[in-house]
């Protein structure tokens, strides 16, 4: 059995190796994370004031910080956006808050995932509902 200076030397070598390994791991270059590409479908031209928060979020880089590369497209109104989202052609779209309620009655599988605004006008983001969860209202 080792004792005294030999044991101390082995512990010192193991500690030095552990410190070296930790420093290598800490300074290892991180793999560049590819941003997830996502398309957001506007119901009207994106220059309208109602879409300001989304434009500002992209401009300030909030989506990029979360690893999202957001592109915009324009639909032909809220019902069209809901149908495109429900069909799976785009993952996310914006419509007036009552839009999903109206189109769900016609069998379009969408749900509200975010709501912003207030008083007379509310805008919502809609997303598709997985087929396993698509239940009648």
The mean-pLDDT minimum among 28-32, 47-51, 78-82, 91-95 falls in 28-32
pTM: 0.62
The mean-pLDDT minimum among 7-16, 29-38, 102-111 falls in 7-16
Cα distance between residue 13 and residue 2, in whole Å? 15
Range of the domain at 23: 1-30
Supply the CATH number for residue 127's domain.
3.40.190.10
Residues 4, 45 within the same domain: no
CB 64 within 8 A of CB 98: no
Residues 42, 24 within the same domain: no
Could you read off the pLDDT of 38-89 as tens digits, one per residue? 888 888 888 888 788 888 889 999 888 888 898 999 988 888 888 888 888 9
Residues 124, 59 within the same domain: yes
- Nearest 5 degrees, angle CA 34-CA 44-CA 71? 10
Cβ within 8 Å of residue 58, ≥6 positions away: 70
Residues 44, 99 within the same domain: yes
Number of domains within the chain: 2
Cβ within 8 Å of residue 125, ≥6 positions away: 92, 93, 94, 112, 113, 114, 115
């Amino acid at each position: 059995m080792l004792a005294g200076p030999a044991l101390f030397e082995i512990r010192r070598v193991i500690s030095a190796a552990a410190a070296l390994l930790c420093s290598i791991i800490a300074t290892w270059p991180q793999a560049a994370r590819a941003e997830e590409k996502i398309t957001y479908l506007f119901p009207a031209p994106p220059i309208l004031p109602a879409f300001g928060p989304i434009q500002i979020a992209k401009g300030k880089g909030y989506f990029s910080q979360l690893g999202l590369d957001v592109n915009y497209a324009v639909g032909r109104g809220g019902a069209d956006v809901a149908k495109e989202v429900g069909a799976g052609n785009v993952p996310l779209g914006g419509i007036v808050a009552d839009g999903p309620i109206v189109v769900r009655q016609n069998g379009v599988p969408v749900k509200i995932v975010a709501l912003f605004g207030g008083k007379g006008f509310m805008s919502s983001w809609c997303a598709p509902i997985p087929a396993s969860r698509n239940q009648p209202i």
